[in-house]
C-alpha cells in the first residue's frame, strides 16, 4: 500500500496547501481475455496495489501534475487541448480530463501529485489505475460526484482518443468498482457486474511478471479487434441480427466456422469459447471447484497462444512451467498479452516451490528472474479518508 503520509507531506511542500487523496487499484484478470470489446464476460479482480492521486483545486483552468515516481511535472490547460497520442504518461491524465468534460462533467483546474506501486508494463493495468484515480480526483475537487460506471467509461474514452488503444471496458471498470475479497463477473455489454467471493485461505492468486513488454502490443490489439468485427460481418450473413461475437453461441459458431477465412476463424473461435469458459469458471468458483477453474485457465492460455496469438515465448514459458508444478491448479497469461504477467492459482502450502521453480526455470532460459506477487482481491476507487 502506498504511504499516504509521504504523499500528503510532499504535496503540501510543493503546492503550499493540503490535498485530498484518491486511490484506484491495478487489476489481474482471472479469465475472459479479449472478450470485453466483443460485448462478452470477463472475471478480473482488483489487486492490492494502487495509484494514489493527491489533489487540490485551482482558480484557473490549468492542471498541473507531478509524478513522485518519475520526479517529473507536466501541465495542461483545460481550454486548450494538447496533441493526443504523444506517448507520454500525461496522455492518460489529460485524456481522462477531456473525456470527463466531453461527457458533461465540468472541471476546475487542479494541482495533482501521483504515487503508485502498480508496476508499469506488467499487464496489471497501471494505466487504468492512473486514469481512474486522477479522474476521480479531478471530479471530486471540482465539487462534483460521478457514477463509477461513467468514470470507467471516461477512462476508456481516454484510451481511445488520447492513448490510441481501442481497449474494452474491463480494466477501468474493475479499477472503479472492484470489491474486496471478490472477483467481478462483468457483463461488458450491459456494463453490470456481479461480485463473486474469492476464498484465498487455501489457494492464492499469484501474479508472475515476465519483465518483458513487446512492441506492437497496441497495433496488434487494434488488429485483433478489427478481425473480430470482420468475423461478425461474415457470420452475420448466416446468423442475421448478430451485432457482436457476444451474440454467437458456441454451437452456432461451430456450425458456420468453416465459412470464415482461417485467421478470422481462429480469432473468433477463441472469443466465443473464452466467453463460455468465463461463465463456466464463474460457476466453478461459486461451487468452490478450483480444480475445474484451473483447467479452464489452462485452456484459456492455450487458446490465447494458438488461436488468438497474443501470447509470447516468455508468457508461455511461465505458464507451461507452472502447469508442471505440484499444487498449481491453473495458470495463464493475463491482460492484453505480448508480455506482462501470468496469473496462477496455487495451493498456499506450495507457494514457495512455485516461486522457486518458476524463478529457476525462467532465469535459466532468459538470464533474468521474473517477479512473483501474491495479491488479495482489493477494493475499487475511492477517496482516502484523512486518518488512513
Ligand atoms: C487490455 C485491455 C482490456 C482487455 C484486455 C484483454 O488489458 O485494456 O480492455 O481487452 O487487454 O482481455
Give me the pLDDT at residue 169, please. 98
Nearest CA, atom 1, ligand 1: 336
- Report d(CA 12, CA 19) in Å as an integer: 7
- Grid cell at residue 74: 507536466
- Is any atom of ligand 1 closer than 6 Å to the C-beta of 171? yes
Residue 318 Cα, ligand 1 centroid: separation in angstroms? 20
287 assigned to some structural domain? no
Grouping H, G, I as helix, E, B as strand and the rest as coil, residue 332 is: strand
What 8-state DSSP symbol labels residue 80?
B
Domain assignment present for residue 89? The answer is yes
* DSSP type of residue 367: S
Q: pLDDT tens-digit profile of 110-121?
A: 999 999 999 999
Residue 152 lies in a domain: yes
Residue at 310 is within a domain: no
Considering the domain boundaries, does residue 346 fall inside one? Answer: no
Q: Which tens digit of pLDDT belongs to each residue from 76-97?
A: 999 998 888 888 899 999 999 9
How many domains is the chain partitioned into structurally?
A: 1
- What cell does 345 get? 492459482
3-class secondary-structure state, position 306? helix
CA–centroid distance, residue 166 to ligand 1 (Å): 9
Nearest atom, ligand 1, residue 37 CA? 10
In a domain, 272, yes or no: no
- Report how far ligand 1's centroid is from the alpha carbon of 367 (Å): 29
11-21: pLDDT as tens digits: 999 999 999 99
Considering just the CA atoms, what is the radius of gyration of the chain in Å? 21
Which segments of 125-248 does DSSP mark as H helices, in order? Answer: 126-141, 148-158, 170-177, 217-235
Contact 267, 308 (CB under 8 A): yes
Domain assignment present for residue 306? The answer is no
Angle (CA) 150 21 115, round 5°: 95
Q: What is the pLDDT of residue 216?
A: 66
Q: Evaluate whether residue 298 is within a structural domain.
A: no
CA atoms within 13 A on the CB side of 379: 7
Residue burial 139-154, b: 16+ Cβ < 10 Å; e: rest: bbbbeeebebbbbbbb
Domain that holds residue 63: 4-198+380-384
Query: Considering the entire predicted model, what is its pTM?
Result: 0.97
pLDDT at 29 over 70: yes
Q: Which CATH number covers residue 128?
A: 3.30.230.10
Amino acid at each position: 500500500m502506498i504511504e499516504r503520509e509521504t504523499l500528503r507531506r510532499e504535496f503540501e511542500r510543493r503546492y503550499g496547501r493540503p490535498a485530498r487523496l484518491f486511490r484506484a487499484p491495478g487489476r489481474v484478470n482471472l479469465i475472459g481475455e479479449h472478450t470485453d470489446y466483443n460485448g462478452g464476460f470477463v472475471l478480473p479482480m482488483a489487486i492490492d496495489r494502487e495509484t494514489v492521486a493527491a489533489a487540490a483545486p485551482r482558480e484557473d483552468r490549468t492542471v498541473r501534475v507531478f509524478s513522485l515516481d518519475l520526479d517529473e511535472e507536466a501541465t495542461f490547460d483545460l481550454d486548450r487541448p494538447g496533441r493526443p497520442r504523444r506517448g507520454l504518461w500525461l496522455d492518460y491524465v489529460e485524456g481522462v480530463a477531456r473525456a470527463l468534460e466531453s461527457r458533461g462533467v465540468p472541471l476546475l483546474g487542479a494541482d495533482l501529485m501521483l504515487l503508485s506501486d502498480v508496476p508499469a508494463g506488467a499487464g496489471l493495468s497501471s494505466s487504468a489505475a492512473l486514469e481512474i484515480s486522477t479522474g476521480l480526483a479531478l471530479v471530486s475537487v471540482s465539487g462534483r460526484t460521478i457514477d463509477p460506471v461513467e468514470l470507467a467509461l471516461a477512462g476508456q474514452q481516454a484510451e481511445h482518443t488520447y492513448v490510441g488503444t481501442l481497449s474494452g471496458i474491463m480494466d477501468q471498470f474493475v479499477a472503479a468498482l472492484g470489491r474486496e475479497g471478490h472477483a467481478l463477473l462483468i457483463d461488458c455489454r450491459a456494463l453490470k457486474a456481479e461480485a463473486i467471493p474469492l476464498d484465498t485461505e487455501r489457494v492464492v492468486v499469484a501474479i508472475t511478471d515476465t519483465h518483458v513488454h513487446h512492441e506492437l502490443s497496441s497495433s496488434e490489439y487494434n488488429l485483433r479487434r478489427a478481425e473480430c468485427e470482420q468475423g461478425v460481418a461474415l457470420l452475420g450473413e448466416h446468423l442475421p441480427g448478430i451485432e457482436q461475437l457476444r451474440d454467437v453461441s458456441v454451437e452456432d459458431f461451430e456450425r458456420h466456422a468453416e465459412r470464415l477465412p482461417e485467421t478470422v476463424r481462429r480469432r473468433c473461435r477463441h472469443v466465443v469459447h473464452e466467453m463460455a469458459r468465463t461463465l463456466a469458471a464463474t460457476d466453478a468458483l461459486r461451487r468452490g471447484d478450483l480444480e475445474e477453474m484451473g483447467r479452464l485457465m489452462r485452456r484459456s492460455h492455450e487458446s490465447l497462444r494458438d488461436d488468438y496469438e497474443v501470447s509470447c515465448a516468455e508468457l508461455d514459458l511461465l505458464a507451461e512451467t507452472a502447469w508442471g508444478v505440484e499444487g498449481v491448479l491453473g495458470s495463464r497469461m493475463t491482460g492484453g498479452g505480448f508480455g506482462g504477467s501470468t496469473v496462477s492459482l496455487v495451493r498456499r502450502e506450495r507457494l514457495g516451490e512455485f516461486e522457486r521453480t518458476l524463478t529457476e526455470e525462467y532465469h535459466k532460459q532468459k538470464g533474468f528472474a521474473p517477479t512473483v506477487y501474491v495479491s488479495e482481491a482489493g477494493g475499487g476507487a475511492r477517496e482516502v479518508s484523512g486518518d488512513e
